[in-house]
Amino acid sequence: MPRTTLFSPQLLDTHCIIDARTPLEFADDHLPGAINVPILTNAERVEIGTLYKQQGPQTARIRGLELTCHRFPSIVATIAEAAAGRPILVYCWRGGLRSESIALLLEMSGLPVAKLQGGYKAFRQIITGFFASVSLPVQLVVLHGMTGSGKTEFLNQLPASDWTVIDLEGLARHRGSAFGSLGLGEQPPQKRFETLLWDAFRRAPLDRPIVVEGESKRIGRLTLPGNLHEVMAESTKIWCEVSVATRVKRLAAEYARQAYQQPMADALERIKKKLGGDHYTDLQQRLEAWDVEGLARGLIEQYYDKLYYRVRKWEPQATISLEDYAAAAVTLKEACEG
């Protein structure tokens, strides 16, 4: 019988991780770096589950063999090619028959393989446990500032030798504002977001601070997991100052794509009540005329600055100017080291 192993993060770096679940399960979430080699299709899993409930496990297993046995050679070949000599770790939902079947096939083929004890469910417990009580071994630095300040762009050009940057908005595929989803595609499922975030923290070196952008509890339709938002509130907070003129230029540059015009109109419609009739009409007309800078300025003055940080109930440890990113990087390092 193939050996079983408990999950440890080191396995993600040493093994070829094989997810034996259906494509739908895989899309919802999976172990970092995992490759989906489903033993059953989405429809077949439903059929087998129904048989199991109605006629019992033996009938379900026989039907499972009928559906899958012709795939065994290609399953082994696909995994062997992906592994490229590395040891293999295979898992399914709870470490049951699906991962057991593939592990047996691989073992009989002479490939080094282990089955993840408890399957994805056990891994998921690791994720929820981490975020239930976030404890980081390095300094966490949180950048705050008004919409359009360029915080994300600044973060992503910080030198990796000095900082570990975790782009929360990039992982969530949302900028956390009314127009936050433009050009970023569909947001991942909540579980997938949490796994990506956990993996980013896992891979952070121990010799440099982690820096993130300040966010509300929600980023689009996703939620910062566990007590992470509270931990961020207690971490080193940096306020980023930028002139309105610079913010207008940065917002306009970000959104000046003709393909965004209709989604921007839809977003304006969603915040119509918060804007008020006159402001909404003004912004709508600017959008129709494709006056992107005028629209950006109007949003800053009539919406963003009235909505965000209206009452800041905390004081930052330092304030930096993001007018010049290179100079800001130096100032940020001095502030955090001081």
Catalytic residues: 92
Residue whose pair of structure tokens reads 């989803």 in the numeric block = 181
| Half-sphere exposure at residue 219, Cβ-oriented, CA atoms within 13 angstroms | 24
For residue 174, give the nearest of 183, 165, 166 by alpha carbon: 183
d(CA 201, CA 103): 30
Q: CA of 131: how far to CAs of 127, 165, 197, 205, 284, in Å?
A: 6, 18, 10, 19, 41
Q: How far apart are CA 108 and CA 85, in angstroms?
A: 16
Angle CA 251–253–257, to nearest 5: 110
Q: How many CB atoms lie under 10 A from the CB of residue 270?
A: 10
